[in-house]
Structure 1
């Protein structure tokens, strides 16, 4: 099951208490203080797991706690430090404060490990309090309590190319044709209910990752339909590919304008993202490209390419792969080898 959000409580470990102890040995009548310090509590650490792709492991469990530090012991023995709590998340996960919404950590390509909470410091044993005036101190410190935090985990997929289009325009068929992804494909609205990632092979040395997300409907940026649940997954994509349906009742110019408006409403930065356009199902109906070219010519932000394709007959699909690769290379995007 694809799970892209979860909220949990995390706790760092408490510091162990210092010990009150005095040396007791044969022939030592009045041994001095020898109480050891308490151990430090465990930290809460979040790190990327390259084998994880969803947040499904967080379903059914809300509380995660690091180990407490052990108490100090006689003979100046320091208590054992508490074991750190290491929480593993997929690449692309954001950690947010549940109450304020502040982003505490963002695991993109450059960040793979973050210490979220520090464990409590261990208390000092009575040996630490021996002075010239007080040769036999009888007190020690308690350990400092750990910290706690209510956080929200939000997974935003990281891909080179994100497919943008209405439901049932052929995005799933396209990604299954171009890549190794095998999404469910059927002739009804919202076949795709979860995002899919696929690796598209350009040649023996180059490839890129494509993301297929559920179709956009009008009002999605305001939460209508699947709304924000899927729009967030194209925030990290480096290049957008608009998939327009040449056989749909709605003309391709209206489709393009409506989709662009929803992206801009959701995040103005998305409307400035580099993009290309494909008109799908050209085997069913030849698309009218002149009007789309004329519309794009009026925009300051123009597509890298406009291509008619058919994922079913593979018409134009190879040209699309090379067009995407060239567009991303012109942007300086790194590709997998």
Structure 2
């Protein structure tokens, strides 16, 4: 449960009953909490909103008669999905007025997330941005089917559609994502070498080193949320991106440190200035080259970067 906010279930789980065990409803909720958070986060791209959804899920779950529940995991996922759909539609309107580019809220993740290739891809910044192009229902169906492998009947109950309709939505969403998803699997060695080369080039502001590690069609996105300075719109192309990066970090090098990390199960660099996190640079790597850089500077989105968040499928 690291990295997620506490609910009443957490407190009850800590308090326990006379034999120091939580009641059955609390026990079931806590057993699946990291899974539920992952479902909500993949649907919303926001840890803060995912935590609110988990709180709402607990409140509804606490009032359920467990004797009527055949599959507790499926039931909890259904509640979480419905609450996330409600919030997702609200977020869509909120993001229309967002200042500059909107990026998902980054999460500092444990090594085991990166080891689960499918999970790591599904929560990567690149994939979350692809999921943003789906409708709320398409996103829910895709996440539940492709990431969590739920059956069509289970998904149908979660999104209030027929199983036949869900199959059609899943097919449409799968084709949409396939046309936009990251290009392929990169070996850990390729990832490590590319990230190290990118870090050295960025720290020194060496333009040629940057050009050597950036793909010709690399894209740089920045999210300052109107609070911190960031590139106002996507920057495309190795030459343009390299010049922006070369002009950035070296100016604050005396006060700054750049360290590698696992963010959303993928390679990233954390920039600290005077010890405080200033930016998170999540990196997408294809064929040994950096093809995407996602620079999150909005302070409201950096609260989950001080400790690891547990994600589960």
- TM-score, normalization by structure 2: 0.26
Q: Which has the higher contact order (CA 8 A, sep 6+)?
A: 2
Task: Give the structure with the larger strand fraction.
Answer: 1
The structure having more radius of gyration, on CA atoms, is: 1
- TM-score, normalization by structure 1: 0.25
